[in-house]
Amino acid sequence: MQLARFHLLKPSYALCLLSGALVMFGFNTLRGSNAQPQNHVYELRIYHANKGKKDALIARFGNHTDAIFRRHNMNSIGYWSPEDSAGSPNLLVYILEHPSRAEAEKNWAAFQADSEWQKAKAESEINGPLVDHIDRYFMDPTTFSALK
């Protein structure tokens, strides 16, 4: 039954379908049989806010930082406030996805140089820095990870 439907395709549609298949075959051949799928790299960032500054830090992310990240090809996976550790009242944790480590470094440099980011940072820190320090970890997904 499916074969009968295929038979009813207009010749131009069949030609387009065949052309697309040949193009994909060509790309796969050029890439080579040993090519591995491209995995993304994930960046875990833990911000240690200065005492009393966590709410201002979260507001800056929500009102400015996340949108600027997107403009610089930095994909936010999620943001969290930990519940369990002794220092958690001052922590903001988030994960970014990047196409590669090199792209991450390039995108961070562009983000830091962004005039809108510089203005938002300066305005949010009129009464002092929001962040004491940042822990940063680049992570590769395991073979069984849902995120690749």
pLDDT digits (tens, 9 = 90+) for 38-61: 678 999 999 999 999 999 999 999
0.95 exceeded by the pTM? Answer: no
Do 63 and 113 lie in one domain? The reply is: yes
Which comes out higher in pLDDT, residue 85 or 79?
79
Do 17 and 60 lie in one domain? The reply is: no
Residue 30 predicted with pLDDT over 50:
no
Q: Is residue 36 part of a domain?
A: no
Per the structure block, which two tokens stand in for 104?
């991450």
Which comes out higher in pLDDT, residue 62 or 89?
62
CA pair distance 55, 9, nearest whole angstrom: 60
Residue 35 predicted with pLDDT over 80:
no
Q: What pLDDT was estimated at residue 89?
A: 87
Show the domain range for 94: 41-139
Q: Which amino acid is at 38?
A: Q
Query: Strands (DSSP E) along 19-129, which ranges?
Result: 41-49, 75-80, 91-98
Residue 19 predicted with pLDDT over 50:
no
Which comes out higher in pLDDT, residue 62 or 12?
62
Do 68 and 108 lie in one domain? The reply is: yes
How deeply is 49 buried, as exposed, middle or buried, from its count of CB atoms within 10 A (0-12, 13-18, 19+)? buried
Mean pLDDT of 89-105: 95
Domains contained in the chain, number: 2
Minimum mean pLDDT among 3-7, 78-82, 107-111: which range?
3-7
Do 15 and 74 lie in one domain? The reply is: no
Are 49 and 84 in contact, with CB atoms under 8 Å apart?
Answer: no
| CATH at residue 79 | 3.30.70.100
3-state secondary structure 120-146: HHHHHCCCCCCEEEEEEEEECCCCCCC
Do 19 and 68 lie in one domain? The reply is: no
Mean predicted lDDT score pLDDT of the chain: 80
Residue 14 predicted with pLDDT over 50:
no
Q: How far is CA 66 from the centre of its chain?
A: 11
Mean pLDDT of 22-43: 52
Do 49 and 12 lie in one domain? The reply is: no
Do 24 and 51 lie in one domain? The reply is: no
The total number of residues written for the chain in this structure: 148
Could you tell me which residues come within 8 angstroms of residue 115 by beta carbon, excluding any fewer than 6 positions away? none
